[in-house]
Structure 1
């Protein structure tokens, strides 16, 4: 009886979902400042383009730009989203990022904590 009540009230509702490998992705975006990081992170969550964004500070990026090797201190956004929302997420980041060419790359999520993956799925709108 308790199990039925718990299931009926939705407490076990996330277990009812079945995760499809690759239906979620992790996107990575580098940004120049904490202000830019927090603005993009908050905005993509508010717009339901992402369920969660982690901000990793103080990464060193070494790259070639306009024929010169550069090194910059940046922050890295790790964004959990639906794979079919990546195009909309990319457009939003490009429209709101200070770099001329900003990094937005993604990798599919094949497996993980089922409850977490279900939570991401329910907190992101389709792209």
Structure 2
């Protein structure tokens, strides 16, 4: 169920539990700013989630409250994940859902990194 991205951070969300090691994940990248792991329900041949270590609900929350170092570190981590996974040559897509209308389900900022096939148009036409 989509969430309201303006709500306070819920430290019981699944990504907070993954960060604390309470739920296992297949990590493919980790540094002081972010971790990345395979999505458990991939939507493309390559589908990796990148999450900041800080308690941020959405991109809006992160850009308003994150420190310059956190923001730079997270953005660099997303790029490092794509390079490390070999996605750059053929191309990849980044997706961050923010709020109910965008379909955000987990109230912790996360970026989906998709690759491995032609990904089609940006949005389905209605």
Q: TM-score, normalised by structure 1?
A: 0.32
Q: TM-score, normalised by structure 2?
A: 0.32
Which structure has the greater CA radius of gyration?
1
Larger strand proportion of the pair: 1
More helix by share: 1
